[in-house]
Amino acid sequence: MKKVDDLMESARELKERGLKSGEIADELNVSRETANWLLTHSPADEDEAEAPGDIHLDWSSVGSSSRRLSLVAAAVADLIEEDLDEEPGVVVGIAKAGVPLATLVADVFDARLAEYTPRKQKWSDGDDDFDELSGSFSRNFADVQGERCVVVDDVVTSGRTMTEALRFVDEKGGTPVGAAVLANKSGKTAIDGVAVNSLFDVVRVE
Average pLDDT over residues 167-196: 96
Dihedrals φ, ψ of 169, to 5°? -60, -45
pLDDT of 51 reads 63
pLDDT of 6 reads 80
> Which range among 58-67, 118-127, 174-183, 196-205 has the greatest average pLDDT?
174-183
Q: Which residue has the higher pLDDT, 103 or 47?
A: 103
Average pLDDT over residues 160-189: 95
CA–CA distance, 113 with 143 (Å, rounded to integer): 8
pLDDT digits (tens, 9 = 90+) for 11-29: 788 888 878 777 777 777 7
CA–CA distance, 113 with 109 (Å, rounded to integer): 10
- The pTM assigned to this predicted structure is 0.79
* Residue 37, Ramachandran bin (φ over 0: left; ψ between -120 and 50: alpha; else beta): alpha
Q: What percent of the chain has pLDDT over 90?
A: 56
Q: Which residue has the higher pLDDT, 152 or 49?
A: 152
**Do the beta carbons of residue 108 and residue 74 sit within 8 Å?**
yes
**Third-level CATH fold of 60-201:** Rossmann fold (3.40.50)
Q: How confident is the model at residue 41 (pLDDT cuts 50, 70, 90)?
A: confident
pLDDT digits (tens, 9 = 90+) for 26-36: 777 777 777 77
CA distances from 70 to 80, 85, 101, 178, 201 (A): 15, 23, 8, 20, 20
pLDDT of 1 reads 42
Average pLDDT, the chain: 87
Residue 19's SS3 state is: coil
Ranking 75-84, 130-139, 151-160, 195-204 by mean pLDDT, the lowest is 130-139
Q: Where are the domains of the chain?
A: 4-45, 60-201
